[in-house]
Amino acid sequence: MSVPKPLSRVLLGFVCVFLCLAGCKESQNSPLDTTPVTFSKEGELQIFNSDTDSVRVALDIELALTDYEIQTGLMYRNSMGEKQGMLFVFQEEAPHSFYMKNTLIPLDIIFIDKDLKIVNIHQNATPLSESGIPSAGPVQYVLEINAGLSDRWKLVPGDRIRYEKTP
């Protein structure tokens, strides 16, 4: 016995809907990747007092060098150590703007020019905010540290940095 064409289309529609719902239900029950993102030391950085040339602080850093690393930054992190940070390294000096989308911890964002001098510091960036945080001029580096540390370490524009990759 053959099924009339309009009825076969209805049956085909039901089969498609059933398969879609079954596929969706299966994907909803699959486990999510909840592996925490943790710090991985890739270099060391020192910040020098602009007046005395003495070391204000030394940090272990992660480096953001590729487009993906720069775009992801410190997103999805639950914490970061006091003497840790992330240094973003851009190919060329230019104005840059950051935001805190998917960033769970408050940060101080330090904008640094091609000569390794601090241009400006944005303190206590709000977690999860998508508002832009611009540099005050052209920069080639950006250092992110835990919020409040730039005040504690008395960092000011004009201070300079030095960093090196660890082997």
Q: What is the CATH number of the domain that holds 134?
A: 2.60.120.1140
Quick one: 12 and 78 in the same domain?
no
Quick one: 9 and 62 in the same domain?
no
134 pairs with which residues across the strands?
A: 97
Residue-number span of the structural domain to which 60 is assigned: 43-165
Q: Write down the pTM of the prediction.
A: 0.80
Q: Please tell me whether residue 2 adopts helix, strand or coil conformation.
A: coil
19-34 pLDDT, tens digit each: 444 444 444 444 555 5
Quick one: 62 and 124 in the same domain?
yes
Quick one: 9 and 57 in the same domain?
no
* pLDDT confidence of residue 100: 97
* pLDDT confidence of residue 31: 52
142-163 pLDDT, tens digit each: 999 999 999 999 999 999 999 9
> Which run of H or E residues covers position 149?
helix 149-152
Quick one: 10 and 83 in the same domain?
no
Are 166 and 44 contacting, i.e. CB atoms less than 8 angstroms apart? yes
Quick one: 112 and 146 in the same domain?
yes
Quote the tokens at residue 111.
């904008």
Q: What is the per-residue DSSP string for 66-130? A: SHHHHHHTTTT-S---TTEEEEEEEEEEE--EE--TT--S-EEEEEE-TTSBEEEEEEEEPTT--
* pLDDT confidence of residue 22: 43
Residue type, 141: Y
* pLDDT confidence of residue 37: 82
User: What proportion of the chain, given as a percentage, has pLDDT over 90?
Assistant: 77
56 burial level (CB within 10 Å; 0-12, 13-18, 19+): middle
CB atoms within 10 A of CB 99: 16
79 lies in a domain? yes
* pLDDT confidence of residue 34: 59
35 lies in a domain? no
161 Cβ contact partners less than 8 Å away, ≥ 6 residues apart: 45, 46, 47, 48, 112, 116, 118, 141, 143
What number is the average pLDDT over the span 91-117? 97
71-83 pLDDT, tens digit each: 999 999 999 999 9
Mean pLDDT computed over every residue of the chain:
86
User: Number of structural domains, the chain?
Assistant: 2
